[in-house]
Structure 1
């Protein structure tokens, strides 16, 4: 009798086909990855019929999608994809709930992203130009099938490079993201560091208007982000464009403008992080607006402040206003007090892991 193609591929492949063809109610993983001709994707896991010692062949289909299903009766399972059952995917185990169909976009190389700079990005809203520093996550070149959430971060010159950072102290945002992705604490994400316009920073990052400092350009900066920067990023990089995959982050006045713009545009930004924010601005008008708001804005919010001259009292008042509005600590609100921390780049760099893992937790991306 002539052997079928699946018989020729061996018993693991035959078991894979059997699993796919006989299960009426199944848990399914679909691994999106091009392993190249002659190679295969296998799945190892924590419960039978999977095991951690030997992988089961996934089934290839057009588009380089490798599929494996098993009975719901196995319950919730942890799994890992491998190439040729020898090279493990980078990051943590994937947690798969019984009955779910889960899309996976793994990578198998080192957890090392890269930076790409876009110079002279003109803002018709503000009449000036600036640089974008774009962090592309580790799998960006390795797995071209994958699209990514996007984090828009203010004061971009401070994030990645000490030579351009204020006081020569950078946030080490790329190193922190690499480490969190590598240990499986954080999903991969594109980070767009939007440089500030130096002498115009106070104006651009503030609503109108503080009696001492003036300001009032935040509405124009908001339109620059939404109408110029985001369309450029979405057109030139492989992004996931929905609000659930789009976030803002900043510190000090950058935290203020993150909070202001994010809550004004919940259909664009589903989450924001405001570190050591200047909520004192204009006699805490922004906080007062939250306190009197009749409806909750559906945006996930990270807030923090240090205990050493870092606006903790004003940040706590904003936290209380959000809680009164219906936000829940541990859910759509993460409030953190950084003991001993002051108002500076090194303090923000030291706790950057907290907002990054809150905004983009492992397996939190909505594909």
Structure 2
């Protein structure tokens, strides 16, 4: 049974809408367990029915919906629209829509839905908007394919085309304002801003979004993942993969300080033969960044932060890594798997690599907050330098850099975490790491502590790991 159908059945019963008449959700004949999967379920579909916990009856108490075996995603969208139109309660409508969106988002194809030669889109927003969809499939004719408002704020379109749809598309407001589909799995940016993409296009890289990812998240908050895939990467053999923190700052051209420009830099480097193709996974931070990215507590301006890096590292390894390995052609040998970040993201990269050396063979810190634990805590807590002295990840190739300088002198002085980075590099040399073999130390004198500086050093860091 589809999750959204299970939720809908429960909601309709809770609202007293169940009757002897056939329901758009399917027939109630044929008792059976709703916990099993059907042959029509998409790979990766989450059958968790927790969205219905607030009702008296749970999906396990209901018979499975009697769905035609040929039902496809566009059919289900039309079915959802019918159900929403006949559901009077706005909260129930929202729960149904949310369950459907979650299921499609984490299904095999994501949004937009493509079923043979049909293109189907869904949008949720303010009521009574004049919306349409346009793209390469119709030569960008604004208004030619309007969205129908099936319920207040719930819009959809099912478009029959002469051939399977492909290429780029956008939603259109009032036939003039083009904007990207926020539900689209595949997307990118050009001179006109963000665009949405129906499918992978030969010879062109793209991004894929996985919103509110929560697999193995534990007590941490869910967060968005963005996966950058090089041109024709989905058809490649196992590619190296790089996991990066502070995902909001990696790809978007309007990110903080212009962001890292990861996709632009990698596109140019890969096409120019400077870098081997690599898949990049951007992991968004949350409001708990100071806690999640630090292995011990410290005191900043009189307030105590930190100490949840164990949870974060395990979330990455137990949740994100297997999810990516199940869905993308990525290598799993540690030598082909990297973790990289800047500032606190650099610190947590060092810690993630230390905690899971069987997963990450490439560890990178740009301007990492190496001194965390000793900034304001009295007595000081162990820093990452102490952690590495107690058991460094033997065999890992480690990249360290900073800008700034020693200022008034190290320790205690310096800028852009220069002093801590120098200290850790010296410790690694003492433990047997060799420069330009498995230790790559870089210093950019005077470089500031921001995304522009890290973006400028990114290609050099990845060239040490994944040269073309």
Match of 2:207 among 115, 125, 145: 115
Is residue 206 from structure 1 mapped to residue 303 from structure 2 by the alignment?
no
1:54 corresponds to: none
Root-mean-square deviation (CA, aligned residues, Å) is: 1.7
Which sections of structure 1, spanning at least 5 residues, go unmatched? Answer: 1-108, 363-367
Structure 1 residue ranges, 4+ long, deviating more than 4 angstroms after superposition: none
Partners of 1:206 and 1:326 in 2: CA distance: 26
* Per-residue deviation, residues 105-139 of structure 1 (Å, max 9, x unmatched): xxxx75x4211111110153234211111000112
Partners of 2:390 and 2:312 in 1: CA distance: 25
1:269 aligns to what SS in structure 2?
coil
Q: TM-score, normalised by structure 2?
A: 0.51
Which sections of structure 2, spanning at least 5 residues, go unmatched? Answer: 1-201, 375-381, 406-414
CA contact (8 A) 1:205 1:221 kept: yes
1:266 aligns to what SS in structure 2?
coil
Match of 2:384 among 253, 267, 286: 286
Structure with greater strand share of residues: 1
CA contact (8 A) 1:296 1:325 kept: no
2:404 corresponds to: 307
Offset, 1:316: 0.1
Higher RCO, 1 or 2 (CA under 8 Å, sep at least 6)?
1
Partners of 2:284 and 2:341 in 1: CA distance: 11
Partners of 2:417 and 2:236 in 1: CA distance: 44
* Per-residue deviation, residues 200-247 of structure 1 (Å, max 9, x unmatched): 001110011113342011000011100000011011111111111111
Is residue 148 from structure 1 mapped to residue 239 from structure 2 by the alignment?
yes
Residue correspondence of structure 1 range 1-367 to structure 2 within 5 A: 110=203, 112-122=204-214, 123-141=216-234, 144-163=235-254, 165-167=255-257, 169-197=258-286, 199-212=287-300, 213-283=304-374, 285-293=383-391, 297-307=394-404, 309-362=415-468
Partners of 2:449 and 2:242 in 1: CA distance: 22
Larger Rg: 2
Q: TM-score, normalised by structure 1?
A: 0.64
Partners of 2:283 and 2:467 in 1: CA distance: 23
CA contact (8 A) 1:159 1:170 kept: yes
Partners of 2:209 and 2:260 in 1: CA distance: 17
Decide which moves more: 316-325 or 121-130. Answer: 121-130
